[in-house]
Amino acid sequence: MMDAKKMLRAFYDRLFEFFGPQKWWPARSRFEIILGAILTQNTSWKNVEKAIKNLRSAGVLDYRGLKELSQRRLASLIKPAGYYNIKAERLKNFINFLSLEYQGNLTKMLKEKTLVLRQSLLKVKGIGKETADSIILYAAGKPVMVIDAYTKRIFSRHRLISPDSSYDHVQELFMDNLPKSPIFYNEFHALIVRLGKEYCVKKPRCDACPIAALKY
């Protein structure tokens, strides 16, 4: 096998060539990106869209709106996204964190140094590594690679990582071998999700997969 740098580069180039730029994250504001990151935990994006739409219709798609909203009412609005009781609690946990640490000022929060922000977010109950990294990359625009189920599935099927590799291990593979650019990580992760959704689901379509014939 080629070295990791060339392999990852070939992978990325092929995906970009095939799918083109993805223009991520699909949201209208940085605040909405964060809500989406929590709501999409182990959940299809289609269902998250319905939940976001409900929040928008209710006029609570901002810090103030969610802060005023009762957890009970919040849970009923996000029902389509599944796990609605737990997710309502997680959203409230984040709102409380933003309130206590940054007086509700999102811009202030996102200006933190990457590692400081990551450590802080990981202390919020309901925000794990992937959600924290999604917020840091897509809302704050800082260079962190997001590792999700698609990333692990695709790269383990190609025998480039072990199926039970840890989050940290896979993240290091990417970040130690690619330019530390938020624009690049943004596009790569979005392309991986696109490939995962369309070709590398649990019943894969390897015959038509754009990287099936890729040499690396």
Partner DNA sequence: GACCAGGCACATC
Partner DNA sequence: GATGTGCATGGT
Residues in the site for DNA, rule: CB under 7 A? 24-26, 36-37, 40-47, 50, 79-80, 82-87, 124-132, 134, 138, 148-150, 164, 166, 193, 196-197, 201-202
- In sequence order, the 6+-apart residues with CB closer than 8 A to the CB of 192 are 15, 148, 150, 151, 154
Task: Tell me how far, at minimum, the Cβ of 88 lies from DNA, in Å.
Answer: 8
Task: Tell me how far, at minimum, the Cβ of 167 lies from DNA, in Å.
Answer: 7
Q: Which is nearer to DNA, 7 or 35 (CB)?
A: 35
Task: Tell me how far, at minimum, the Cβ of 55 lies from DNA, in Å.
Answer: 14
User: What would you report as the CA-atom Rg of the chain, rounded to the nearest whole angstrom?
Assistant: 18
Start-to-end C-alpha separation, the chain: 6
Q: Which is nearer to DNA, 47 or 156 (CB)?
A: 47
Q: Which is nearer to DNA, 66 or 74 (CB)?
A: 74
Task: Tell me how far, at minimum, the Cβ of 6 lies from DNA, in Å.
Answer: 27
Task: Tell me how far, at minimum, the Cβ of 192 lies from DNA, in Å.
Answer: 9
Report the distance separating Cα 180 and Cα 216, nearest Å. Answer: 22
Q: Which is nearer to DNA, 63 or 84 (CB)?
A: 84
- Within 20-140, residue ranges assigned H as helices are 30-39, 45-57, 63-68, 71-77, 84-102, 106-110, 114-123, 129-134
Q: Which is nearer to DNA, 57 or 85 (CB)?
A: 85
Report the distance separating Cα 183 and Cα 179, nearest Å. Answer: 10
Query: Diameter of the chain by CA atoms?
Result: 55
